Amino acid sequence: MNTIEISGRQVFSLKAESSGNPYKGALAGKFYSRYPYNGKLIIVNESSEFYKDLRAGEVNTFWISEFTEMVTDANGVEKPVVRYTINGHITHKESLRFKEATVEEAILDAKIAEMTKASLRAEVSVSQEEVDDLVEGA
């Protein structure tokens, strides 16, 4: 299964080709929107959190997965059609929390490194005079 990441300005370029499309079968009574993206058609369930976040302009990054579906054409011939569906997303707030956590981890790592460095320093103070005496005596 192919997965594609879409983020930043690419998210804002998405425009629904059609909305309010009724599902058939097991999802009857629910609706989906169709979003074209780089020659691909992304199907988005309109009752999903992703759809709500996308409509509110809150999606920072999302992933789509490719799948093949058997579709019957107008002549009654069944053929495979490649489709794409949402495989997860991150909102702007979630992205900021992740970035903040990463910065906090970096600060913590720096503090640990400094403490480790400090703990490895010599415990004994030696004057320059004592060092010179040791060097001369060698």
List, for residues 118-128, the tens digit of each pLDDT value.
555 555 566 77
* DSSP per position, 45-96: ETTSHHHHHHHTT-EEEEEEEEEEEEEE-TTS-EEEEEEEEEEEEEEHHHHH
Q: What is the pLDDT of residue 92?
A: 82
Residue 41 to residue 59: CA distance in whole angstroms = 18
Give the mean pLDDT of the chain.
81
Q: What is the pLDDT of residue 34?
A: 92
Q: What is the pLDDT of residue 109?
A: 65
Q: What is the pLDDT of residue 16?
A: 92
Pick out the chain residues at pLDDT < 70.
1, 98-126, 131, 137-138
